[in-house]
């Protein structure tokens, strides 16, 4: 059974867990927790490259990080985010998706309703994860989508369209919980929420966010499960102290 079939079979039965990784070590850690999917997201622009949004990520950036994560992902499927302007045509989409697969990804994620590209990839045997709601690659600002009736209706229609086009799952980002619930109950494929409430078939977060790496980035939908920012600072402070006091390196950590 393919990984996408396993994901589809979880709908309505078992929650799907997806987290991001951009390097070997984090991918290996996540793989050993038994999560369902690892996303090499274009969010690397913000958490790795220090940019203000995801719009400038290149194919080269994505391929580099997919290769690194693939070395650590063991048996966990990797989904690669096709970056902005990488699939504006069917030809570009096919070429770039194949580059992701060659780099170690098992499937691709595409933001928005790029019907012809999604249809061509899905029919060509490349698993596609959809992504609707708030779309970071094209959004002028990050805020909840779908609060207005007409906007909510459009997102619902987009979800139905993606379902028909053959995606194996879809991310619902920053939409009201009742809209996410309606979509989840309407489409045949699993929904994976980020800022979309508890009724989705699964959840995804940027791992760096849930581990508290950045004290300055605290969107409402992120729950911080550990404070790695503080833990790292504390460890470095202890290292500095022990070096200054001559406690490190001690005999245990010295070759003789």
129 and 60 part of one domain: yes
14 and 100 part of one domain: yes
pLDDT at 25 over 90: yes
Who's near 50: CB < 8 A, 6+ residues apart? Answer: none
Measured distance CA(175)–CA(251) in Å, rounded = 57
Measured distance CA(103)–CA(65) in Å, rounded = 9
What is the extent of the structural domain holding 253?
A: 228-256
43 and 89 part of one domain: yes
Contact 125, 100 (CB under 8 A): no
Residue range 31-66, pLDDT digits in tens: 999 999 999 999 999 999 999 999 999 999 999 999
241 and 133 part of one domain: no
236 and 183 part of one domain: no
140 and 251 part of one domain: no
Percent of the chain's residues with pLDDT above 70:
100
Q: Give me the CATH number covering residue 153.
A: 3.20.20.60
103 and 167 part of one domain: yes
174 and 248 part of one domain: no
Global pTM value: 0.97
128 and 235 part of one domain: no
Count of domains for the chain: 2
129 and 103 part of one domain: yes
Measured distance CA(196)–CA(233) in Å, rounded = 33
219 and 117 part of one domain: yes
- For the annotated catalytic residues, the residue numbers are 173
113 and 163 part of one domain: yes
**pLDDT at residue number 218:** 85
Measured distance CA(36)–CA(252) in Å, rounded = 40
Mean pLDDT, residues 176-192 taken together: 98
Residue range 58-113, pLDDT digits in tens: 999 999 999 999 999 999 999 999 999 999 999 999 999 999 999 999 999 999 99
pLDDT at 9 over 90: yes
């Amino acid at each position: 059974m393919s990984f996408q079939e396993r994901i589809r079979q979880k709908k309505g039965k078992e929650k799907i867990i997806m987290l991001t990784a951009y390097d070997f070590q984090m991918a290996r850690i996540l793989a050993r927790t038994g999560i369902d999917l690892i996303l090499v997201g274009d969010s690397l622009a913000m958490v790795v490259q220090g940019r203000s949004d995801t719009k400038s990520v290149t194919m080269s950036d994505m391929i580099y990080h997919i290769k690194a994560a693939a070395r650590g992902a063991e048996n966990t499927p990797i989904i690669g985010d096709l970056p902005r302007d990488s699939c504006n045509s069917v030809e570009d989409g096919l070429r770039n998706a194949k580059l992701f697969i060659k780099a170690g990804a098992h499937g691709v994620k595409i933001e928005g309703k790029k019907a012809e590209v999604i249809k061509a990839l899905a029919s060509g045997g490349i698993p596609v994860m959809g992504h609707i709601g708030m779309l970071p690659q094209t959004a002028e600002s990050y805020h909840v989508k779908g609060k207005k009736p007409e906007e909510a209706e459009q997102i619902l229609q987009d979800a139905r369209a993606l379902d028909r086009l053959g995606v194996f799952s879809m991310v619902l980002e920053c939409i009201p919980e009742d809209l996410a619930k309606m979509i989840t109950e309407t489409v045949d494929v699993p929904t994976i929420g980020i800022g979309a409430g508890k009724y989705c078939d699964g959840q995804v977060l940027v791992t760096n966010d849930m581990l508290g790496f950045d004290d300055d980035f605290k969107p409402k939908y992120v729950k911080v499960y550990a404070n790695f920012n503080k833990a790292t600072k504390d460890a470095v402070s202890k290292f500095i102290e022990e070096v200054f006091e001559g406690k490190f390196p001690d005999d245990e950590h010295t070759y003789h």
